[in-house]
Amino acid sequence: MMKKIINILYLFLVAGALSARPAYAGIDPNALYTTTNIIHLVVLICAALCLIWALKILTLVKGGLISKSWQMFVLGFCFLIAAQLTVVGENVGLLLIPTYITTALYLLMTITWLAGLYQTRRVLG
């Protein structure tokens, strides 16, 4: 069931990515310094740091029972980074992406983190 949901979300992401076009005329370099974009950039930097730490932990537990849950956490951080990049690119005017793409990336992030937590609880419980 979970694989079907993720495959459907991937289909929406691919369809949205194919319909995205660069917005050459609308690039606003001053839009990068708005409060919301600064917050998105801080979240992007924190997500990148968490991805690095999760990869370090994944290499420590390589092949163990808890390895699958850390793979899910790494995948979730990748989805978060992709979502933040699309939001910042859209706010600056670099990309024209439908809003459901970002929502689907956040949803995929949440699903993979919940799957990682469930796997951890199953192994440790």
Per-residue pLDDT tens digits for 39-65: 999 999 999 999 999 999 999 998 888
The pLDDT value given to residue 1: 54
DSSP three-state, residue 22? strand
DSSP state of 94: S
Asked whether the whole model's pTM tops 0.75, one would answer yes
What value does the CA radius of gyration of the chain take, rounded to a whole number of Å?
Answer: 17
* Phi, psi (degrees; rounded to nearest 5) at 24: -65, -40
The pLDDT value given to residue 90: 86
The pLDDT value given to residue 63: 83
Answer yes or no: is pLDDT of 6 > 60: yes
CA distance 87 to 90: 5
The average confidence (pLDDT) of the chain is 84
Residue 81 Cα distances to 41, 50, 65, 90, 124, angstroms: 10, 10, 26, 14, 28
Any bridge partners for residue 22, and if so which?
A: 95
Please state the domain extents for the chain: 30-124
pLDDT digits (tens, 9 = 90+) for 10-22: 666 666 666 655 5
Answer yes or no: is pLDDT of 114 > 90: yes
